Structure 1
Amino acid sequence: MTNSDQGEDESDDSGIGGWGKEHVSDDSGQVKKAAITDGRHPAAATNYRLNEPSLSFTPTAMESSMRPRIGVPPKGNAQSREELDFINGSGSALETLSCQDVSEPAQIDERTASTDLRSLSVGNEHHRQGSLGKGSEQGEECSPGRRIIPPCTSAEDINALLQATFLPPVTKESLEELDLEWIQSNISLRVDINYDPDLHFTPVSGHKGKEKREEAMKYWLSLEAELRIAYQHGPLDDCASCRKAAHSSKPLHFTPRLSQMFLSLQDLLLTLVPDHDREQVNQYFDIGLLLQEVSHGLLDVIRLAHWLCGLLTTHCAPMRDESAQEMAEQIQQGSEQGDLRILVRGIEKLFVFLEAMKLDVANHQIRSFRCHLIDDTVAFQQDYFQIRLRNGKLNAQASKQWYQEAVRRHHECSGPNPSPLTPTPGALIHGLVELCLSPESVIPETVKHDQARLMTIRDEIQDMLHLKMSLSMFDHLVKQILGAQSAPNFSLETRKRQNRDLLQNRIMDLTDGTMAQHKTTSEVWSQNHRAIAVELTRAAWNACDQDPSLLARIDFDKIAGDLLARFRSEEDDAAVARSIGTLLEKATKEHAKRFHKMTTLTISENQRQWHQLRQQKQQWRNLAGIEDMARMLAHVAVVHWRVWADLVYLAQ
Structure 2
Amino acid sequence: MDLSKPKPKKAHPETCNDQESDAAERCRVTETKAPADNDRDQHPRQDVQPKEKQDPPVTPNKSRSKTAATASSSPPARGGMSMPSQIMIMRMPPSVSLSSEDKELLRTADPLPPVTRETLSELDLDRIMRNIHLRTDANFETDLHFKPDLDGEKGLRKRAAADRYWSAVHIEIMAHAISTLNGESVELEVVPVSQLARIEGDWFQPRLPWMFETLQDILKTLVPERDHACVAQNLDVRLLMQQIRKGVLDLARLARWLAELLKMHCAPMRDQDADRMVTEISQGYDTHDMGKVVDGLRTLFGLLEMMKLDVANHQIRAFRVALVEDTIPFLQDYFFRRMATGEFKADDARTWYLSIPKQVTDLSREAEDRAFFPPAVLLRGLCELLLQFDEPASYPQTFQFDLHRLWQLRVTLQHLIHIDVCWSILEHLINRAECRASRRHIYSRFRSRISCLLDTSSDSGSDNLGTRLPNAANVALEIARLAHEARSGHASPKDVPNSLITEAEKSIKRHLATESPVFRHYRGILRHELLTETYQLARKYINMSPLAICESQRARVAAAPSMALGRTQRQREIVVIAMKLAHIGVLHWRVWGPLLYAAASY
Q: Under a length normalisation based on structure 2, what TM-score does the superposition of the two structures give?
A: 0.80
CA displacement at 1:436 relative to structure 2: 1.2
Mapped partners of 2:459, 2:555: distance in 1: 28
CA displacement at 1:447 relative to structure 2: 1.3
CA displacement at 1:306 relative to structure 2: 0.9
Q: Give 2:350's aligned residue.
A: 400
Please list the CA deviations of residues 102-159 of structure 1 after superposition, one character each: whole Å capped at 9, or x if unmatched: xxxxxxxxxxxxxxxxxxxxxxx99999977656xxxxxxx7x212234522323212
Distance 1:133 1:149, change over 3 A: farther
| Contact 2:336-2:595 at 8 Å conserved across structures | yes
Mapped partners of 1:131, 1:417: distance in 2: 57
Q: Does 1:421 align with 2:421?
A: no
Q: Does 1:58 align with 2:44?
A: yes
2:27 pairs, out of 48, 60, 71, with 48
SS, match of residue 539 in structure 1: helix
CA displacement at 1:543 relative to structure 2: 4.1
| Contact 1:460-1:623 at 8 Å conserved across structures | no
Q: Does 1:568 align with 2:513?
A: yes
AA matched with 2:68? G
Distance 1:191 1:519, change over 3 A: farther
Q: Give 2:262's aligned residue.
A: 312
Please list the CA deviations of residues 556-580 of structure 1 after superposition, one character each: whole Å capped at 9, or x if unmatched: 5313423431321422333332332
1:177 pairs, out of 122, 125, 129, with 122
CA displacement at 1:613 relative to structure 2: 5.1
Please list the CA deviations of residues 64-87 of structure 1 after superposition, one character each: whole Å capped at 9, or x if unmatched: xxxxxxxxxxxxxxxxxxxxxxx9
Gaps spanning 5+ residues in structure 1: where?
A: 1-10, 20-44, 61-86, 95-124, 136-142, 240-247, 484-490
CA displacement at 1:550 relative to structure 2: 9.7
Q: Does 1:595 align with 2:525?
A: no
Taking the TM superposition and a 5 Å limit, the aligned residue runs for 1:203-282 are 203-204=148-149, 205-234=151-180, 250-282=200-232
| Contact 1:150-1:236 at 8 Å conserved across structures | no
Distance 1:129 1:269, change over 3 A: closer
CA displacement at 1:305 relative to structure 2: 0.5
Mapped partners of 1:276, 1:517: distance in 2: 60
Mapped partners of 2:484, 2:398: distance in 1: 51
Please list the CA deviations of residues 358-392 of structure 1 after superposition, one character each: whole Å capped at 9, or x if unmatched: 11111111122212211111111111111111111
CA displacement at 1:262 relative to structure 2: 0.7
Taking the TM superposition and a 5 Å limit, the aligned residue runs for 1:517-536 are 526-536=469-479
Mapped partners of 2:572, 2:410: distance in 1: 11
AA matched with 1:163? T
| Contact 2:454-2:469 at 8 Å conserved across structures | no
CA displacement at 1:215 relative to structure 2: 1.1
Taking the TM superposition and a 5 Å limit, the aligned residue runs for 1:127-526 are 145-150=88-93, 152-204=97-149, 205-234=151-180, 250-410=200-360, 412-415=361-364, 418-423=367-372, 425-438=375-388, 439-482=391-434, 495-514=438-457, 526=469
Mapped partners of 2:286, 2:239: distance in 1: 22
Mapped partners of 2:493, 2:152: distance in 1: 47
1:91 pairs, out of 64, 68, 74, with 68
Q: Which moved more, 1:184-193 or 1:622-631?
A: 622-631
Mapped partners of 1:553, 1:198: distance in 2: 47
Distance 1:517 1:233, change over 3 A: farther
Mapped partners of 1:236, 1:369: distance in 2: 58
Distance 1:473 1:290, change over 3 A: same
- Identity of counterpart residues, as a percentage? 33
Please list the CA deviations of residues 599-638 of structure 1 after superposition, one character each: whole Å capped at 9, or x if unmatched: 21111112123334559989xx999722111111111111
SS, match of residue 202 in structure 1: strand
Please list the CA deviations of residues 195-245 of structure 1 after superposition, one character each: whole Å capped at 9, or x if unmatched: 111221121121111111111111111111111121213499969xxxxxx
SS, match of residue 343 in structure 1: helix
Distance 1:197 1:89, change over 3 A: farther
SS, match of residue 172 in structure 1: coil
Distance 1:522 1:324, change over 3 A: farther
Distance 1:255 1:235, change over 3 A: farther
SS, match of residue 352 in structure 1: helix
| Contact 1:161-1:254 at 8 Å conserved across structures | yes
Q: Does 1:608 align with 2:558?
A: no
Q: Give 1:42's aligned residue.
A: none
Mapped partners of 1:257, 1:637: distance in 2: 51
| Contact 1:435-1:454 at 8 Å conserved across structures | no
Please list the CA deviations of residues 324-372 of structure 1 after superposition, one character each: whole Å capped at 9, or x if unmatched: 1111100001111111111111101100111111111111111222122
Q: Does 1:647 align with 2:582?
A: no
Distance 1:613 1:416, change over 3 A: closer
AA matched with 1:91? A
CA displacement at 1:249 relative to structure 2: 9.4
Please list the CA deviations of residues 29-77 of structure 1 after superposition, one character each: whole Å capped at 9, or x if unmatched: xxxxxxxxxxxxxxxx6322211145521389xxxxxxxxxxxxxxxxx
| Contact 2:339-2:345 at 8 Å conserved across structures | yes
CA RMSD of aligned residues (A): 3.7
Q: Give 1:243's aligned residue.
A: none
Q: Under a length normalisation based on structure 1, what TM-score does the superposition of the two structures give?
A: 0.74
SS, match of residue 110 in structure 2: coil
Mapped partners of 2:341, 2:324: distance in 1: 26
Q: Give 2:502's aligned residue.
A: 558
Mapped partners of 1:175, 1:624: distance in 2: 41
| Contact 1:591-1:631 at 8 Å conserved across structures | yes
| Contact 1:92-1:295 at 8 Å conserved across structures | no
2:526 pairs, out of 580, 583, 590, with 580
Mapped partners of 2:257, 2:346: distance in 1: 56
Q: Give 2:53's aligned residue.
A: none
| Contact 1:129-1:165 at 8 Å conserved across structures | no
Q: Give 1:26's aligned residue.
A: none
Mapped partners of 2:65, 2:397: distance in 1: 52
Alignment: residue pair count: 534
Distance 1:364 1:570, change over 3 A: same
AA matched with 1:466? H
Q: Give 1:73's aligned residue.
A: none
Q: Give 2:586's aligned residue.
A: 638
AA matched with 1:455? W
Mapped partners of 2:257, 2:214: distance in 1: 17
Mapped partners of 1:216, 1:134: distance in 2: 26
Q: Does 1:15 align with 2:20?
A: yes
Distance 1:600 1:192, change over 3 A: same
| Contact 1:57-1:317 at 8 Å conserved across structures | yes
| Contact 1:93-1:295 at 8 Å conserved across structures | no
SS, match of residue 174 in structure 1: coil
